[in-house]
Chain A
């Protein structure tokens, strides 16, 4: 089956991103595929390359990146939700004349159309909310 996953809770504030990670690992382990993971609202913080939790705690953004590299996952961060929360890629940093950008390498910024498309092309959409 084709799954898409939606995450609307920020890591370290809610369990949403951590639950979605474990669910995604099981989806892939059981032989299903993930069309897209869409990070919306506070969920955009999962895409920060600057998150630096203590070394004995799980680094949720880094774990998403690792899973994405292993399975060629499409990790999409809602652009409107992201820029207002200070999650910027190089393009947006230039557009808003900011000195730095912090979107992790394995994530992309895009619009809500990507969520709609994921809903159309997936057999199941599972949402992890805050």
Chain B
């Protein structure tokens, strides 16, 4: 049973990212959308230090571009809404944290 964790807030706005990282298991995936994409800025990189290589990290490029984030952190794979839907199908549950 794998889970897609969706985060839509910056770590400064809410504890959603921190909480989700604690709940994450091997094989799960993380998707940053809306203001959540700001978490890819270098200032927040320590949040991801405990993530294992078995957790795939994605971000919604539509939301990153809308916020002027063009030099994206290479640890995150950029996807569009179609990609979001495909991830929702690939993982058995979608959990939104906010």
Chain A residues proximal to chain B, CB less than 8 Å:
1, 3, 15-16, 19, 22-23, 25-27, 29-30, 32, 124-130
Contacts and interface: CB of A to CB of B under 8 A. Distances in A.
Interface residues of B, number: 19
B30 interface: no
A29 B85 CA distance: 10
A29 B86 CA distance: 12
A73 to B, nearest CB: 16
Given A3-B88, A15-B34, A126-B88, A22 B81 contact: yes
Contacts, number: 47
Interface of B: 6, 8, 33-35, 62-63, 80-82, 84-86, 88-89, 93-94, 96, 98
A30 B81 CA distance: 10
Contacts of B89: 1, 32, 124
Nearest to A6: B96
B85 A32 contact: yes
A30 B98 contact: no
Contacts of A127: 94, 96
B91 to A, nearest CB: 9
